[in-house]
Amino acid sequence: MHRKENGDVNKINQKKAFIRDGISYSSTLMKNIQETKGVNDESQEAVKVVEVHRETSVFFYLQGRLVVGRAIDVKVLINLKDSLKKAGIEGFKLHYLRGLNVLIAFDNETDASDLALNVNIWKDWFDPLDIWDGQTLAYERLAWLKFHGFPLHLVENKVFDDVASLFGKVVKGAQLSSLDWDLSTACVGVLVDSGARISGSAFLNWKNKKFKVWVLEELDDWVPDCFLKKYGRSRVLMIVKGKLIGSRRMSLIPIRKMKR
């Protein structure tokens, strides 16, 4: 990996990159998992369980060469590939992990370690970032919400964002403009920790009047710009006891055009 000179590089002589008062990425992830355990349970019905072979491990042979990070926002996420290249970082592949999480694969452990330890390079893009050695990541995904029933005089981006915040953390606010031909609705991106599609309603209180509005999640999955290829497919490999036992090809999902 080659890097451009960009000020002093803060290289930490430790095995792991640490953030926020010495808390590692893996500690942050496990804390998130513990905090969200039991929250937003989708059903109290009988739980279906699949026993997974204890030797099952995806990408175990790449451990040490993988860096996992959480982008600070959607704008950083969709421009991540260009940002890394402009910083002089080469020889990497990006993998999207849903939500704001990404996996960066390098050809060797040295390049992966260099990026993880050089906080000055990535501090404006990630919070946090660390070497991935098999630790569990808390589940999150981006949900794109559309709205119905808004009265015309309340079609304002802040109002859309306020309603969206009832269903998740807003990470991409509404961008409705008077120049848009369609003023009937807006699209807002929220982070959620549930796999269930969002469908709900809320009331807008305005001057002693109450308006019911509906919130529906778009069904199409979203993939950031930097992960799309003009041609090609992605392959998922499953490794059991060091042997490739199967693979499947997944068509790339078209991206929704967004204002940057």
pLDDT value at residue 41: 52
Q: Where are the alpha helices (DSSP H) in the chain?
A: 25-36, 74-78, 80-86, 109-117, 119-122, 157-164
Please state, in angstroms and rounded to a whole number, the distance separating the CA atoms of residues 71 and 48: 33
- What is the model's pLDDT at position 246? 38
Tokens encoding 217: 């999640």
- One-letter identity of residue 120: N
Candidates 3.30.70, 1.10.3470, 2.60.40, 3.30.870; CATH matching 18-46+62-131: 3.30.70
Residue 43 pLDDT:
54
pTM exceeds 0.85 for this model:
no
Q: What is the dihedral sign for C-alpha 72, 74, 75, 76?
A: positive
Q: Which run of H or E residues covers position 85?
A: helix 80-86
The residues near 5 (Cβ < 8 Å, ≥ 6 apart) are none
Q: Report pLDDT for 183.
A: 77
Of 70, 73, 61, 57, residue with least CA distance to 130: 70
Whole-number Cα distances in Å, 87 to 2, 5, 7, 68, 209: 9, 9, 11, 18, 53
Query: Which are the contacts of 237, defined by CB distance < 8 A and separation ≥ 6?
Result: 58, 59, 244, 247
Residue with the two structure tokens 């808004």:
150
pLDDT at 229: 56
d(CA 76, CA 122): 11
What does each of the 260 residues of the chain score in pLDDT, given as a tens digit?
544 444 444 444 444 443 334 445 455 555 544 444 444 455 567 899 999 888 887 777 777 889 999 999 999 998 898 899 998 888 899 888 889 999 999 988 899 999 999 899 899 999 889 998 888 888 999 999 999 999 999 999 999 999 999 999 999 999 888 887 777 788 999 999 999 999 999 999 999 999 999 999 998 777 776 666 543 434 333 333 333 333 333 333 333 444 44
Domain segments of the chain: what residues?
A: 18-46+62-131, 141-217
Q: Round to whole Å and give the CA distance between 260 and 129.
A: 24
Helix H or strand E encompassing 122: helix 119-122
Start-to-end C-alpha separation, the chain: 29
C-alpha neighbours within 13 Å on the C-beta side of residue 131 = 19
Give the whole-angstrom CA distance, residue 163 versus residue 35.
24
